[in-house]
A and B are shown apart, each in its own frame.
Chain A
Amino acid sequence: MTEPGIRGKTAIIGVGQSPYYKRGKSPDPAFVLTLRAILNACADAGIDPRAIDGFASFSMDRNDPLRMSAALGLRELRFNSMVWGGGGGGGSAAIAGAAAAVHGGLAETVVVFRGLAQGAMRFGGAPPAQYLGGNFAFMAAYGVISPAQQYAAKVIRFMHDHGVRQAALRAIALTSYAHAQNNPNAVMYGRPLDAETYDASRWIAEPFHLYDCCLESDGAAAVIITSAERARHLTERPAYILGAAQGAGYRTDAGSFNGPDFASSHFASLAPRLYAMAGVTPKDVDVVQSYENFTGGVLMSLVEHGFFTAEEANDFLTPDNLNAMGGKLPLNTSGGNIAEAYIHGMSLIVEAARQIRGQSPNQVRDAKVSMVTSGPMAAPVSNCILGAEETL
């Protein structure tokens, strides 16, 4: 019997990152950061970078695979792909595409990467335009432009419908900061956050305080994907790709906030597909990296992935429950987009693989099933589950 989907057919065999910097502080351009992340991932995997034969990224990445291919002297480029969508929702979808390409024999060694620097590619910045058409025509003149402004009303409605309190969002922010204190590569390493500071911080757009919002960073991150068969020969502890999904629900992105699932992270239709392909249930998941564009997106992502109901959110979302050291659901264990760095979520995928490979700065004991949710609210969204050898 052939197994459906891509379960266990491919694996991440190496992860790499550049140094992470506050936005605009990188001494190197994005291309250099990206090359460094890729070379580090190759070193982690123990492969010659010239063996790479494919690239995958998402959301208008500016690092052209042809230029990288030439710069790295690749013997042959056999696959390159970029996921549509303007946000970080394509991160796990890039993993899915790379895994499918490898499983389907289109390429053998594919890098999934993201690199940005010098303040370019800021999702949080205002569009420079004086006129805006398309969906922006119905929002921009009313002051709804930045991601915080676009997504705040989704979270307000969700919190209203289910009685979720601000402390639930706060717990997500505090968790990222707590984990960053053990991660010397995190931008917020050595800068802990407490509840009082969170409460006193300014609003960006209600219900988002400053600390509910992701950082803006310079940096790059990359992972190397190859077949499960090759992975076993190349590395001691591959992070097998058990499943991945991308997309959106019925009319999710209908303009002027007309999606029926407006008050949502948009994972409701993806989560069952992901679990079915991976052959696991929420109870089996040992650790989650859940993309924080905003903490409210994490709240809805975790609910829609079945870790708790919306009505249980106030009780479940506490710093203790989310901590890597003994929490019920270790979350964003390297500091996430809020306190490690905002590499549009690619750093979360790196961390998810590190948990399986035993390389995390906040290693969850015996982590065997490691989940990523990418870019909540910014449809198309995507997710993936990585697993240790024992899960196959």
Chain B
Amino acid sequence: MTKAATTYLPDALPVPASDGDGLQAPFWSGLEREELLIQRCRHCRTWVFAPEWICHQCHSFDLDWTAVEPTGVIYSWTRVWHPVTPAIAEHMPYLVGVIELPQAGNVRLIGNLLGDPAKAVEIGARVRGVFEHHPAAADNPARKAFTLLQWTPA
């Protein structure tokens, strides 16, 4: 089993969980289908991310999950060297990117920058999304499948 090689970081970090109110659920189920969905206000067309129940521009509750091309621009980044848990100590360092989506009102997503973690990172560089599927854990029925969105040079 070479599971570690199929995901950028090992399955030892906290898994995204909906809060029970369903707010984030369309975003995560979209990623599982390899679709990037961002909320957009039906009333004033403002893009909204992270997900929220209300449009911050016009206070309409009528938000639409809109499919967006998974491409973007590196807004900022960091290279993490110190493991937050010993379970990923063998996987250091790793790269984190803050990615802006010009086609969706410049909303920002956080993801890993795939490839050599020692590489130089350039703010403003164009990147495209890569859907990284994490299967359900066989030994833990509570741990369901989920998908992350990672980034590679465009």
Binding site for B on A (CB under 8 A): 126-127, 129-146, 148-149, 152-154, 156-157, 160, 202-207, 251, 254-258, 262-263
A153 to B80, CA, bound (A): 10
Q: How many residues of B contact A (CB 8 A)?
A: 41
Query: A78 to B137, alpha carbons, bound, how many Å?
Result: 53
Q: How distant is the Cα of A146 from the Cα of B49 in the complex, in angstroms?
A: 22
Q: Could you tell me the distance in whole angstroms from the C-beta of A70 to the nearest C-beta in chain B?
A: 37
Q: Of A134, A145, A152, A258, which contacts B108 at CB under 8 A?
A: A258
Residues on B with beta carbons closer than 8 Å to the beta carbon of A133: 16-20, 24
Which residues from chain A contact B111 at a C-beta distance below 8 Å? 142
Partner of A142, one of B76, B93, B123, B148: B148
Interface string of B95-131 (1 = CB under 8 A from A): 0101000000001111110000000000100000000
Whole-angstrom distance from the CB of A73 to the nearest CB of chain B?
43
B15 at the interface (CB under 8 A from A): yes
Asked if A149 and B77 make an inter-chain contact with CB atoms under 8 angstroms apart, the answer reads no
Given A138-B109, A153-B76, A254-B50: A202 and B148 interface contact (C-beta under 8 Å): no
Task: Please tell me if B79 contacts chain A, counting CB pairs below 8 Å.
Answer: yes
Given A148-B82, A254-B50, A255-B50, answer yes or no on A141-B19 (Cβ-Cβ < 8 Å).
no
Q: Are A205 and B81 in contact, with the CB atoms below 8 A?
A: yes
A137 lies within 8 A of B17 (CB)? yes
Query: Other than the known A132-B15, A144-B110, A251-B56, what 5 A-B pairs have Cβ atoms closer than 8 Å?
Result: A137-B28, A142-B148, A144-B80, A144-B96, A205-B78
Q: Name A210's closest neighbour in chain B (CB-CB).
A: B82
A residues within 8 A CB of B96?
142-144, 149, 153
Give Cα A235–Cα B80 distance, bound, in whole angstroms: 49
Q: A134: nearest residue on chain B (CB-CB)? A: B19
Out of A129, A136, A139, A262, which one reaches B76, CB within 8 Å? Answer: A262
- The reply to whether B16 and A138 contact each other, CB–CB distance below 8 Å, is yes
CB distance from A22 to the nearest CB of B (A): 18
Total A-B pairs, Cβ < 8 A: 135
Give Cα A145 to B16, complex, Å: 12
Q: Which residues on A sit within 8 Å (CB–CB) of B110?
A: 138-139, 142, 144, 256-257
Q: Are A140 and B14 in contact (CB under 8 A)?
A: yes
Flag if B88 contacts A143 (CB, 8 Å).
yes
Residue contact B78 to A149, C-beta cutoff 8 Å: yes
Distance, CA A255 to CA B23, complexed state (A): 13
Give bound CA distance, A202 to B83, whole Å.
12
Q: Nearest Cβ distance between residue B119 and chain A, in whole angstroms?
A: 13
**Bound-complex Cα distance A166 to B148 (A):** 32
Complex interface: chain B residues within 8 A of A139 (CB): 110
**Closest CB of chain B to A93's CB: distance in Å?**
24
Q: Which 3 A-B pairs have the closest CB atoms?
A: A255-B50, A152-B78, A131-B17
B24 touches A142 (CB 8 A): no
Contact of B14 with A153 in the complex, beta carbons under 8 Å: no
Question: In the complex, A142→B75 CA distance in Å?
Answer: 16
Given A133-B24, A157-B75, A149-B80 contact (CB < 8 Å): yes
Q: List 27 A-B contacts (CB under 8 A).
A: A130-B14, A134-B19, A135-B50, A137-B28, A141-B13, A141-B15, A141-B16, A142-B111, A142-B112, A143-B9, A143-B80, A148-B82, A149-B80, A152-B80, A153-B77, A156-B76, A157-B75, A160-B76, A203-B81, A203-B82, A203-B93, A204-B82, A205-B79, A205-B81, A206-B78, A258-B49, A263-B76
Cβ–Cβ contact B14 & A141, under 8 A:
yes
